[in-house]
Amino acid sequence: MQRSNFRSTFISLLNARSYQAPYYRLGQSGRFVVLLAGMILGFSATGQTLLDLSVGTSSQDNFNVQVAVRQQFSDRLQVGLELQAGSPQYRFVGAQVMREGYSYAASVPLAFRLAKEKKIQLYGIGRLGARFQGIIDPDENDMRDSILASTAIIGELGLASGFRVGEKITLQAGLSFPLAYEVSPNALFEYTWTKLHFGGSWNSPRTSVFLHSNVGSALGASGDTYKYIWSLEVGVRYTLGNAQNEPFQFIQTSF
């Protein structure tokens, strides 16, 4: 009997939507904003939080927007949450090209400082997340009455380096290997690429302005998907809370 009560309580908590709590009265975007604000406030309370806002364009998207919240837990470790929304121009669903639709991704980027010299630092970078995208009007009947959606697991592993040129300028370069594995509607290895990063930032104590470019050859899905990817990203970083840890000489590029 007790077990049954526990189970029903647990299920009702999971289905907290039934309480009509204010959070669940919000739309999807409203919930997203509340969640993000909560994360920022929560992180700020524990010290150094970094908020990155950026826009970009790429061979995949006409334009995209990124919001990332990162927490620097120590001089060596930074973990965050990155959300990306894009307007696709050349993406794939089930290894078939998509030229109109939507694309969203949520991922947990990780960066850890591996080595440090006077002006240069080496970082290991990683990422794990999920990407949601879909083709609007896949049957091309001009009715825009259906969507072919896809879900993929995304990941990235690599090394990057930040070099301080002067008091305010930092250059960075890196080499990483992002990958996407589509799990729905098909299970297939969508692509991986050799991502060369180049970029730089102008830094003041609390604000940085950055520019990143990424380029590399790609492969996947028996050659049906990407063969080459490039992207360009410009953004601004705000440091929230007290700078308790030594700042990284590096801003992680988006996926």
Which secondary-structure segment (H or E) carries 38?
Answer: helix 28-45
Q: With respect to another protein, which residue has the nearer C-beta, 76 or 87?
A: 76
Partners of 236 in the beta sheet?
53, 209
Q: Is 199 in the site for another protein (CB under 8 A)?
A: no
Distance (Å, whole) CA 67 – CA 168: 23
Selected binder of another protein within 101, 109, 174, 199 (CB under 8 A):
174
Partners of 171 in the beta sheet?
163, 200
What number of residues does the chain have? 255
Q: Is 219 in the site for another protein (CB under 8 A)?
A: yes
Least distance between another protein and beta carbon 249 (Å): 11
Q: With respect to another protein, which residue has the nearer C-beta, 130 or 196?
A: 196
Site for another protein in 62-121 (CB under 8 A): 95-97, 114-117, 119-120
Residues 6+ apart with CB under 8 A from 247: 72, 203, 239
Residues 6+ apart with CB under 8 A from 135: 93, 98, 100, 101, 147, 148
Q: Is 228 in the site for another protein (CB under 8 A)?
A: yes
Binding mask 141-170 for another protein (x = CB under 8 A): ----------------xxxxx-x-------
Q: How is 144-188 classified by DSSP, letter by letter?
A: ---EEEEEEEEEEEEEEEEEE-SSSEEEEEEEE--EEEEEESS-E
Distance (Å, whole) CA 156 – CA 26: 33
Q: Is 227 in the site for another protein (CB under 8 A)?
A: yes
Selected binder of another protein within 36, 85, 148, 171 (CB under 8 A):
171
Q: With respect to another protein, which residue has the nearer C-beta, 49 or 190?
A: 190
Least distance between another protein and beta carbon 251 (Å): 15
The answer to whether 66 and 56 are in contact (CB under 8 A) is yes
Least distance between another protein and beta carbon 63 (Å): 20
Q: With respect to another protein, which residue has the nearer C-beta, 250 or 255?
A: 250
Residue 92 CA to its chain's centroid (Å): 18
Selected binder of another protein within 48, 54, 192, 208 (CB under 8 A):
192
Residues 6+ apart with CB under 8 A from 39: 69, 81
The amino acid at 191: Y
Least distance between another protein and beta carbon 6 (Å): 41
Least distance between another protein and beta carbon 116 (Å): 6
Q: Is 196 in the site for another protein (CB under 8 A)?
A: yes
Contacts with another protein by CB under 8 A lie at 95-97, 114-117, 119-120, 122, 124, 157-161, 163, 171, 173-175, 177, 179, 192, 194, 196-198, 215-219, 221-224, 227-228
